[in-house]
Amino acid sequence: MTSLDRTPAGTESSASSYAWLPVVTTLATLATVLVLAFTGNGTAAVAVAAVGAAAGGVQITVHIRR
């Protein structure tokens, strides 16, 4: 019987893995800032937030298919 699955072998590509990197970095930065702020290290929290903002921003890509 012929298979209808056209998915190439090895569907996990490095490009899709790198797509989550900014999200994970942002969440880690936010968690670090919150922990530092709640433990009374306001100056360190501001410094980490500044480094996190400088390291990357939010990028939204929209692909329109017609």
Question: Which tens digit of pLDDT belongs to each residue from 18-31?
Answer: 777 777 888 888 88
In a domain, 65, yes or no: no
Indicate the number of domains in the chain.
Answer: 1
In a domain, 51, yes or no: yes
Is the separation of the CB atoms in 47 and 32 below 8 Å?
no
Q: Does 14 have pLDDT greater than 80?
A: no
Exposure string for 6-44, b = 16+ CB within 10 A, e = fewer: eeeeeeeeeeeeeeeeeeeebeebeebbeebeeeeeeee
Confidence of residue 56 (pLDDT cuts 50, 70, 90): low
- Average of pLDDT values for 46-64? 73
Longest dimension (CA), the chain: 66
Domain that holds residue 49: 20-55
